[in-house]
Amino acid sequence: MGAARANLEVRLSWIELVDPDLPTALAAVPAGRRVVVVPLLLSSGYHDRVDIPAAIRSTRPDTVQAAVLGPDPLLAGALADRLAEAGRRPGDTVVLAAAGSSDPAAVAAVHTQAELLAAHLDVPVTAAFGSSAAPDVRSAVAATRPGRVAIAPYLLAPGFFTERLAEAGADVVAAPLGAHPAVVTLALRRYDEVSTVG
């Protein structure tokens, strides 16, 4: 994001497990500076509705929070690129593999992203989950047989869940979205949508 827009100061923080956490990052910004938090989350859920607002209220109440990244057609293009890089063939069916959530709105958002990806690829796409929602990824892969199956991880970075995808029985497993140019563009768009608020 910083390379894409040199006049924008971009600082990184984490919701949990890694430092600096969001309150620490917010407190480090000099007083009087305008701050916009852009959640690098693919769907809305507990983090963007509870954790992030709580960190903002407790540290810098004047901070503006942008919307989460997905679902969005730009992400469909990025997912398609990652699938192509991994060797997906035009006739392969696709499973969109998300980490999972107990939040019905977050699960619905993954299904919406699967529909966007299906329209982009012009093939069926099944939404599947690593936990807390059905179907699980292995079951979704098995249900799409016969024929080749490709998994599109609906994840930003590698980790425990991406490692488990290799064991789900698909012919192709794409890389996570990472710093795909569409993700950068979308994050900057979310910033722009709220940067003039207030």
Confidence bin at 115 (pLDDT 50/70/90): very high
Mean pLDDT of the chain: 94
Could you report the per-residue pLDDT of 123-154, keeping only the tens digit for each?
Answer: 999 999 998 889 999 999 999 988 999 999 99
**Would the pLDDT of 198 be above 60?**
no
Q: What is the pLDDT averaged over residues 94-100?
A: 95
**Whole-number pLDDT of residue 133:** 87
Residue extents of the structural domains in the chain? 22-69+180-194, 73-173
Round to whole Å and give the CA distance between 113 and 101: 15
Strand order across the beta sheet in which 93-98 lies: 125-129, 93-98, 149-153, 172-173
**Whole-number pLDDT of residue 131:** 86
Q: What is the pLDDT averaged over residues 73-84?
A: 98
Using alpha carbons only, what angle is made at residue 166 by residues 163 and 170, rounded to the nearest 5 degrees?
150
CA distances from 164 to 99, 130, 131, 148 (A): 11, 9, 12, 19
Round to whole Å and give the CA distance between 165 and 159: 10
**Would the pLDDT of 197 be above 70?**
no
Could you report the per-residue pLDDT of 35-68, keeping only the tens digit for each?
Answer: 999 999 999 988 999 999 999 999 999 999 999 9
Q: What is the pLDDT averaged over residues 83-91?
A: 96
Two tokens, residue 33: 């500076």
Residue 6 contacts by C-beta under 8 Å, 6 or more apart in sequence? none
Could you report the per-residue pLDDT of 3-16, keeping only the tens digit for each?
Answer: 999 999 999 999 98
At the topology level, CATH places domain 73-173 in Rossmann fold (3.40.50)
Buried b (16+ CB within 10 A) or exposed e, 137-166: bbbbbeebeeeebbbbbbbbeeeebbeebe
